[in-house]
Structures are given as C-alpha cells and as structure tokens.
A = this chain, B = another copy of it.
C-alpha cells in the first residue's frame, strides 16, 4: 500500500492511490430474528472486519453479536453516522483507509444507502478509489415491489409523503396519476404508527380501479402483503395494520 502525501492530489487523483482498503456494504435484517435473510458469505465477510460505520452503534453491535462474529466486541470499532456532523464519519473513513483496513458500512435495517443514510460514505469511497462491494441482503422496498404484482420494469421510490391527511390524500392522487400515465409503480414508506392512517386515506382518496399495495413486516413473523385494486380491498376483510414497518405501493 502506498499513499501520496499531498492532500490536494488525494482529492483530485483518487485512482493514483493504491489503498488496500475495501468498503463492504452490509445488509442487516429488516424484521426481528430474521437473521436467516443474511447469506452466510456476508456473515463471513463481517467476521473479518473490525471497523464499521453505522447509523446507530448500539444496533450495529447487536447485529454483529447476533451474526455470531467470533471477535471480541471490544476489539471492534463502530463509528456512528451523525447527521448533524457528517464530517465525523467521513474523517473516520479517511483515517481508516490510510491504514489499509477494510470497512463495513451498516444500515439500521436493510441495505445501507437505500432509504437510509450512508450514501455519503459510499460516494467518498469512490472519490478515493476505494473499491465498493455491495453485499446481498434484505431490502423492504425491493421485496415489497416483487410481492406487489405491479410493474417492476418501471418504478419510483419517493421516501415519505406528507404526514397530514389532506396533504397526504393530495400526494396520493398525484402518484396515482403518475402511475397511470407512465405505467410506473409508485413506492413510499411511512413510520409504523401511521400505517393504518395511510391505508384509510389511500382507500378513500384513490380511484376504484387503482391498484394499492401494503407490505408489512416483510420477512418477519407478522409478514402481511396485500395488493389489490382499491375496489377489492373491502373484500380482503377489514384489516387493521399493526404498528410495524410497512411499504406502500400504487400501480
């Protein structure tokens, strides 16, 4: 490993470097006790790492322990991504690649950088010529899309919609128009305690023929996925959604 000392050229000529580091993007289960969704090759890579950047150190350590790493946890460094001070994790990343150590980036749940912080660190890795290796694991968005029966050849993820009923209803109708005009599946999320409200507003606001989908607690013990035209939802039985993570789809 050889590092140039001029910090300016570090920025401008990332591939000029020969760092030994690799950035591994490590998925974490999206449901309680769903460790089976993390393939063994991912856990084998985790086993080899002793430096992690994570959304929350506490849950990262919980995952590392559950994943069965044989390394004593006190030998493992977990740096938290502080959204108020993004520079902190960036600095830790830059220091670590100088020593040539590999780095694991962990999400709070699911895949790092997707509907989650972490993208910033990945971008920095590319700028510095650090190879980025995304590892396979659960993504609630992708699993919900697969399970929706809606168009998977063209889709959008919007993140969160406005939380209040009238604005939410308006946003849902906009997505409905986009879905119908562009034949494009519209995906969004909401915090668990608002799931039931989203379902109620959607079934009121959307056209009868519009397909609406809910995927709740995917890969978990209470997994529940329903995707039907709005007019057929009452036939699916009056469902009260649990306070569990859910993905919503319009198609």
Contact = CB atoms under 8 A, between A and B. Distances in A.
Contact of A153 (B15, B25, B159): B159
A215 B108 CA distance: 24
A143 B142 CA distance: 11
**How many chain copies?**
2
A158 B120 CA distance: 24
B147 A25 contact: yes
B124 A149 contact: yes
B237 A114 contact: no
A145 B114 contact: yes
A142 to B, nearest CB: 5
Contact of A235 (B13, B40, B158, B227): B13
A208 interface: no
Interface string A92-134: 0000000000000000000111111011111111110101111
A53 to B, nearest CB: 13
Judged by DSSP, the binding face of A is mixed
Contacts of A63: none
Interface residues of A, number: 70
A146 interface: yes
A232 B36 contact: no
A37 interface: yes
Contact of A40 (B13, B16, B40, B113): B40
Interface stretch (A163-171, A195-203, A218-226): A218-226
Contact of A148 (B122, B144, B228, B236): B122
A20 interface: no
A219 B146 contact: no
13 contacts: A12-B235, A113-B152, A114-B145, A114-B152, A119-B149, A124-B149, A126-B226, A133-B223, A134-B218, A136-B136, A136-B138, A153-B157, A154-B157
Given A40-B40, A126-B149, A136-B219, 4 more contacts: A120-B149, A126-B227, A133-B147, A133-B225
